[in-house]
Amino acid sequence: MSGAEFLLWMRGPGISFAALFFIAGVVLRLIEILMLGRTKNLAELRGSGSTAGMRTIATRFLPADANTFRRSLPTIVLGYLFHIGLFVVIFLLTPHIKLFQSVFHIGWPGLPTPVVDFFTVVALVSMLGLLWRRVSNRLLRFLSTGEDYLSWAVTFMPLLTGYLSYHHLLLPYSWMLGIHILSVALLLVIFPFTKLMHSFTLFIARYYNGAIAGEKGVQQ
């Protein structure tokens, strides 16, 4: 198989299959959660749970207060850098936007490639920092499971291979791009069965947390 054939296959059936698997998996997981529901609160409520729930979805993007921020400083800073970098790379790189456009028929303006390139480096470096903390910090090492490392690896690979292919490093371009798409496919397939699901479920979690507190009149 030539590099061009490999790339063609990955671009076509390879990634399509992975994407379908991803969608089915995510929907299944969300149904598993939402089906369980929450029993109605019979106490005399002090505030609207749904309003507070929606509010908490937004407020939890920021740390609770300055002292919380201080206490978990490296985790929070690296976490932000990584997530911002990842977001920019996925959604603001022009070739990615073109791909979304071909599937969903909606597009949006991207950032100049060198800027995205910079954010890729930010994401990669902060991910290395997060991994370093996971293995070196006593608390994080204790909490970490195989799944944490697996999730890290399948997220890191697309970033790395994307970076390498853009800079024409290591392998011929078509091979590297093919491997990049392969790594994305792997990410998509593994996604629904790991903590990567938090990208979707955190909205449900925050909503419930905020609603439970808001019904008691506690604002978060």
Applying the rule CB under 8 A, the residues between 169 and 198 that interact with other proteins are 193, 195, 197-198
Task: Tell me which of 102, 109, 114, 138 binds other proteins, using CB under 8 A.
Answer: 138
| Contact call for residue 38 and other proteins (CB under 8 A) | yes
| Contact call for residue 208 and other proteins (CB under 8 A) | yes
Take residue 21 and report the two structure tokens written for it: 């698997």
Give 121's Cβ-side CA count (13 Å radius): 7
| Contact call for residue 142 and other proteins (CB under 8 A) | yes
Q: 206 near 62, Cβ under 8 Å?
A: no
Helices and strands counted in the chain (H then E): 11, 0
| Contact call for residue 37 and other proteins (CB under 8 A) | yes
Q: How many residues bind other proteins (CB under 8 A)?
A: 58
Q: 52 near 215, Cβ under 8 Å?
A: yes
Take residue 200 and report the two structure tokens written for it: 């979707």
The beta-carbon contacts of 157-164 under 8 Å, at least 24 apart in sequence, are 157/183, 157/186, 157/187, 158/183, 158/184, 158/187, 159/86, 159/89, 159/120, 159/123, 159/124, 159/127, 160/124, 162/89, 162/120, 163/117, 163/120, 163/121, 163/124
Selected range binding other proteins among 7-15, 69-77, 91-99, 101-109, rule: CB under 8 A: 69-77
Q: 41 near 200, Cβ under 8 Å?
A: no
Whose Cβ is closer to other proteins: residue 20's or residue 99's?
20
**Least distance to other proteins from the beta carbon of 119, Å?**
21
Selected range binding other proteins among 10-18, 65-73, 92-100, 110-118, rule: CB under 8 A: 65-73
Take residue 96 and report the two structure tokens written for it: 């990615």
| Contact call for residue 48 and other proteins (CB under 8 A) | no
Helices 146-166/113-136 angle, 10° precision: 150
Whose Cβ is closer to other proteins: residue 96's or residue 133's?
133
| Contact call for residue 146 and other proteins (CB under 8 A) | no
| Contact call for residue 67 and other proteins (CB under 8 A) | yes
Under the rule (CB under 8 A), what is the footprint of other proteins?
Answer: 25, 28-29, 32-39, 41-44, 46, 56-57, 60, 63-65, 67-68, 71-72, 75-76, 79, 137-140, 142-145, 148, 193, 195, 197-198, 201-202, 204-210, 212-213, 216-220
